[in-house]
């Protein structure tokens, strides 16, 4: 009888272990660093800082989006230009060109501009076919959140697998607060990014 109970206990333990491992495997993102692209748009370098934190965790290739005609340095001028682009659906031409054929997982990072996805990122997602790829958005903002940006990513990547995104407060350029990813803020965001990526299976 004791042997029978021992057999039942061991079998039950093995079954639980197998189930847990299956659940972990199901959440894992099956890819290698050479198949990961981290493409980002940055102005105050906060989104770039988050992109580099992602790279430190998962590897991959970092690419910064650059425009053929850069935006003006003046904050009010860029706000006015972006407002017109959003209203008219204008997609500003990109200087940056990327061959996406080798990549399976694409992180797309951007600030929130006018509570929307910035026009240059709309250009990137319109010009490139991400069908069948895994797309993961990440964002920095001035405290008002992501707006409709993540929804727009999902709409423009309707044939992709979209994973849960990440967002954090960055600078507040209109108040003269620019780069903030240092000191305690950097430590805080690094932990959040690590936990987010771990939950995604990386």
122 in helix, strand or coil?
helix
Q: pLDDT (tens digit, 9 = 90+) per residue, 85-112?
A: 999 999 999 999 999 999 999 999 999 9
- Supply the pLDDT for residue 31: 86
- Residue 79 CA to its chain's centroid (Å): 23
Weakest mean pLDDT among 2-6, 44-48, 103-107, 150-154:
2-6
Domain covering 31-200, topology: Rossmann fold (3.40.50)
**Per-domain boundaries in the chain:** 31-200
pLDDT exceeds 50 at position 6: no
pTM of the model: 0.86
Looking at every residue in the chain, the average pLDDT score rounds to 89
Q: How far apart are alpha carbons 54 and 138 in whole angstroms?
A: 10
């Amino acid at each position: 009888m004791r042997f029978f109970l021992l057999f039942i206990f061991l079998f039950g333990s093995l079954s639980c272990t197998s189930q847990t491992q299956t659940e972990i495997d199901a959440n894992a993102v099956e890819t290698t660093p050479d198949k990961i692209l981290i493409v980002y748009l940055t102005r105050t370098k906060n989104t770039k800082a988050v992109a580099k934190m992602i790279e430190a965790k998962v590897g991959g290739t970092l690419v910064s989006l650059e425009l053929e005609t850069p935006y003006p340095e003046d904050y009010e001028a860029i706000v006015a230009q972006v407002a017109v682009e959003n209203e008219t659906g204008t997609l500003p031409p990109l200087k940056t060109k990327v061959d996406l054929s080798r990549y399976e997982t694409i992180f797309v990072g951007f600030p929130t501009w006018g509570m929307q996805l910035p026009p240059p990122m709309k250009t990137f997602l319109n010009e490139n076919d991400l069908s069948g790829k895994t797309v993961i958005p990440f964002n920095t903002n001035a405290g008002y959140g992501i707006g409709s940006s993540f929804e727009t990513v999902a709409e423009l990547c309707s044939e992709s697998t979209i994973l849960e995104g990440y967002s954090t407060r960055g600078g507040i350029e209109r108040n003269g607060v620019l780069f903030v990813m240092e000191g305690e803020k950097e430590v805080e965001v690094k932990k959040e990014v690590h936990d987010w990526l771990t939950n995604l299976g990386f």
